[in-house]
């Protein structure tokens, strides 16, 4: 058990919002999709990764952060769904899109191959500063999410939960989900003690997440 008190991340100041905006206003491009560790790009810049079960809104969030409506669609083309996708952000960062997890209908061999690659990536990238785990606010933490949280914990990768689609809930409903998520995170020492509330559709939390990424060193 951790002794952290999990709180909702505060809104950044106008100055912090501007710094985050400038970072994400830089050129952002799809670099490559990786299926094995020997295909990884050079670890020559800070990187953050995004994980989340299928349909959690990961592509929409990446597109909202970068202001590019179709950037993350590159990773959703046939044949790339099991790849780790790297995007360049300015000349200083990699944004890394991990495949959606929770393959209820995927062949066992494919799931095992993806899990091996994911474990190797998480434990082997010295420039990985934080993993952002997306949780659908309408559902909270599910058993399939626990798998990735435990993997990040074992890999000693600091991770931060990002609740998506928060505009779909009333305040009372959202408060209950925040409590449920906070309780689930107590057993994960690698969890960063702030939860980010977002809505890609409404732009909620996007400046906050840009600011957080911009302050990592």
Where is 212: in which H helix or E strand?
helix 206-215
Q: Do the Cβ atoms of 6 and 194 come closer than 8 Å?
A: yes
SS3 of 23, please?
helix
Encode burial over 186-211: b for 16+ CB neighbours within 10 A, e otherwise.
eebebbbeebbbbbbeeebbbbbbbb
Segment 144-150 mean pLDDT:
89
pLDDT recorded at residue 78: 39
First and final CA of the chain: distance in angstroms? 27
Q: What is the DSSP string of 114-145?
A: HHHHHHHHHHH-TTEEEEEEEEETTT-S-HHH
Residue 74 has pLDDT above 50, yes or no: no
Q: 0.95 cut: is pTM over it?
A: no
- As a whole-number percent, the residues of the chain with pLDDT over 70 amount to 92
Summarize pLDDT for 75-86 with one digit per residue, the tens: 444 344 578 999
Q: What gap in Å lies between CA 19 and CA 158, rounded to an integer?
A: 23
How many whole angstroms from its chain centre is CA 206? 13
pLDDT band, very low/low/confident/very high, at 70 (cuts 50, 70, 90): confident
Residue 104's pLDDT is 53
The reported pLDDT for the residue numbered 207 is 97
pLDDT digits (tens, 9 = 90+) for 26-67: 899 999 999 899 999 999 999 999 999 888 999 899 999 999
């Amino acid at each position: 058990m951790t002794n952290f008190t999990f709180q909702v991340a505060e809104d950044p100041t106008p100055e912090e919002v501007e710094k985050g905006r400038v970072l994400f206003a830089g050129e952002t491009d799809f670099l490559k999709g990786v299926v094995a560790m020997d295909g990884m790009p050079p670890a020559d810049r800070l990187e953050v990764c995004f994980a989340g079960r299928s349909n959690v809104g990961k592509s929409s969030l990446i597109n909202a952060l970068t202001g590019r409506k179709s950037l993350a669609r590159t990773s959703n083309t046939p044949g790339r769904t099991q790849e780790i996708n790297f995007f360049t952000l300015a000349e200083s960062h990699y944004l890394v899109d991990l495949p959606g997890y929770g393959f209820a209908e995927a062949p066992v061999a494919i799931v095992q191959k993806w899990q091996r690659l994911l474990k190797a990536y998480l434990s082997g990238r010295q420039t990985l500063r934080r993993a952002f785990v997306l949780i659908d606010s309408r559902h909270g933490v599910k058993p399939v999410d626990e798998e990735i949280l435990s993997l990040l914990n074992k890999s000693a990768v600091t991770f931060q939960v990002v609740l998506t689609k928060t505009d779909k809930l009333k305040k009372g409903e959202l408060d209950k989900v925040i409590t449920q998520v906070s309780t689930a995170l107590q057993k994960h020492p690698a969890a960063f003690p702030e939860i980010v509330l977002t809505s890609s559709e409404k732009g909620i939390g996007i400046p906050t997440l840009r600011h957080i990424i911009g302050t990592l060193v």
